[in-house]
């Protein structure tokens, strides 16, 4: 009578009495749903190596991806610095990607406007390019009062966060300098 046996085994007390867990703190107390649960890290399609974006300890992360979605982020035990640990921020970092309030499309507010409007990415890029050239022209200074060369614009300023990649900071400084913009700053000052 396999049916009765299955029924009996679904009863924790029975498992407690007959199995290897007489105190009912482990296997005996586990439900069928728990049995069927598989961790997200086990079913991921791939694991990608990353680094926590919050503080400068730089804990190494393993990013688990399934169906091109991030399903879990864990500490990487290989790291000599973090040894697999993450603090609450690093552990929560998957929600940076999945946060329900994350905004993934361009928003535009016109001068004196009272609401946000939508804009195509390409349109926004072209509009920004127009404004950069205009601001650069308006704030251009060839020389100072004594005729010393400046070759710069005071029309454009920039402030970057310190979670920018080195490569990003590099391209920014390179482009801004070529444009003649000098008021280029970073959170590193703050």
Which of 63, 70, 73, 86 touches ligand SF4 (CB under 6 A)? 86
What is the CB neighbour count within 10 angstroms for residue 112?
Answer: 5
Residue 27 interaction partner, one of ligand SF4, another protein, none, beta carbon < 5-8 Å per kind: none
For another protein, give the closer residue by CB, 5 or 138.
Answer: 138
44 touches ligand SF4 (CB under 6 A): no
Tokens encoding 160: 């970057």
In sequence order, which residues have a C-beta less than 8 Å from that of residue 67 and are 6 or more positions away?
45
In whole angstroms, how far apart are CA 89 and each of 12, 59, 83, 182? 38, 11, 16, 34
- Its sign, for the CA torsion 7, 11, 16, 20, is positive
Residue 35 interaction partner, one of another protein, ligand SF4, none, beta carbon < 5-8 Å per kind: none
Closest distance to another protein from the beta carbon of 135 (Å): 4
Closest-approach residue to ligand SF4 (CB): 90
Closest distance to ligand SF4 from the beta carbon of 44 (Å): 20
């Amino acid at each position: 009578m396999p049916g009765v046996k299955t029924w009996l085994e679904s009863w924790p007390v029975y498992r407690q009495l007959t199995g290897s867990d007489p105190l009912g703190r482990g296997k005996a107390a586990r439900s069928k749903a728990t049995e069927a649960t598989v961790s997200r890290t086990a079913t991921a399609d791939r694991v990608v190596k990353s680094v926590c974006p919050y503080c400068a300890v730089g804990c190494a992360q393993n990013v688990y991806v399934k169906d091109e979605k991030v399903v879990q982020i864990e500490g990487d035990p290989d790291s000599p610095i973090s040894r697999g640990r993450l603090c609450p921020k690093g552990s929560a970092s998957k929600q940076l990607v999945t946060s329900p309030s994350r905004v993934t499309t361009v928003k535009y507010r016109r001068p004196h406007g009272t609401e946000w409007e939508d804009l195509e990415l390409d349109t926004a890029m072209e509009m920004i390019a127009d404004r950069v050239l205009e601001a650069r022209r308006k704030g251009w200074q060839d020389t100072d009062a004594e005729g010393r060369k400046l070759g710069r614009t005071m029309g454009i300023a920039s402030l970057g966060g310190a979670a920018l990649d080195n490569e990003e900071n590099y391209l920014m400084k390179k482009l801004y300098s070529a444009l003649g913009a000098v008021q280029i700053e970073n959170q590193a000052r703050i």
